[in-house]
Structure 1
Amino acid sequence: MNKLDSALLNILIKDARASYADIARQLGISRAHARTRVQGLVTSGVIEQFSAVVNPEKLGKVISLFIDLKVAPAQLETVSQELADCQEVVSLYIMSDLQSLHIHTLTDSFESFDAFARRRIFNRPEVLSVDCKMLMSRVKHRRGGPRL
């Protein structure tokens, strides 16, 4: 990867629908060269996919909560996969202590979050502790992906 690839990635992170002509114009290269570089980044696995960033509030998902679970290590994989499969879970990470999960959920109401928590988290003997916090406001976020 060089500076041209980094600049190209930043364009695509901002707008994955940018045309090769737009990319070429912004970088001062030919359209064919832009296409070749993008295809090379896809082939090498640097670009995994092109996707849309959806505003959850426009879909009625206004309750954003972050949950930190401590789970019995022997059940970590099972619990993480079960939770990852839930529509309420936006992101889920296994943390470095190999017993903690960091989970971001989006729901349309406190009632629907409560139903999710009762159904999927509470009363599970493998869940050792739960810490849950509600998002108050976004100051900086990765909408559009990280900047390189």
Structure 2
Amino acid sequence: MDRTDKRILNILQRNGRITNSKLAGEIGISPPAMLERVKRLEKSGMIRQYAALIDREKAGFSLLAIIIISVSLNEIKSLEDVKDKLIILDEVQECYQLTGDVDFLLKVAVRDMSNYTTFINAKLTGIPGIQNIRTSFVLETVKSSTVLQLDED
């Protein structure tokens, strides 16, 4: 990946709807060369997907929770079983397996406290092996970004 590819990625991260010709103009290469570069970045997996980022609150999901989960390794066959159950939950926007005292960190979006209670009682506590669930509710999103600033040097 060269400097031009990094410039392309930096622009696409901020505006995934930019036209090929406008992107080519900003980078200073021809539209056919730009199209080839972008297709190569997609094929290599550097560009995973394009998506619309929706305003969570405007969509009616006013409650954002950060949930920390510890599992009991004596009560499960494998951590893979727990992961498989966590990733299919629609409320879970992000799931990270961690080192240290806790096993998973979840970012969960729900409409309200009633939906959160249902999520915990009907879904999360039903996963075999989950030993401890701790929740913090987000009061304010200070920063939320999907951009990875690539050094173009």
TM-score past 0.5 threshold:
yes
> Separation in 2 of the partners of 1:80 and 1:54?
25
Identity score, percent:
24
Moved over 6 A (4+): none
> Separation in 2 of the partners of 1:44 and 1:98?
36
1:1-148 matches, cutoff 5 A: 1-73=1-73, 74-97=77-100, 100-122=103-125, 126-142=129-145, 144-148=146-150
> Separation in 2 of the partners of 1:97 and 1:15?
37
> How many angstroms does 1:97 deviate by?
4.6
Q: 1:123 to 1:38 in 2, by over 3 A?
A: closer
Query: Taking CA–CA contacts closer than 8 Å with sequence separation of 6 or more, which of the two structures ends up with the larger relative contact order?
Result: 2
> Separation in 1 of the partners of 2:127 and 2:30?
58
Amino acid at match of 1:8: I
Which SS does the other structure have where 2:23 is aligned? helix
Alignment deviations for residues 25-53 of structure 1 (CA, whole Å, 9 cap, x no partner): 11111111111110110111111111111
> Separation in 1 of the partners of 2:126 and 2:48?
37
Which SS does the other structure have where 1:141 is aligned? coil
Amino acid at match of 2:38: V
TM-score w.r.t. the length of structure 1 is 0.90
Kept in 2: contact 1:71–1:129 (CA 8 A): yes
Which SS does the other structure have where 1:46 is aligned? coil
Kept in 2: contact 1:76–1:98 (CA 8 A): no
Kept in 2: contact 1:66–1:132 (CA 8 A): yes
Alignment deviations for residues 38-78 of structure 1 (CA, whole Å, 9 cap, x no partner): 01101111111111111111110110001010112444222
Which SS does the other structure have where 2:57 is aligned? helix
> Separation in 2 of the partners of 1:21 and 1:60?
36
Which deviates more from structure 2 when the two are superposed, residues 60-69 or residues 87-96?
87-96
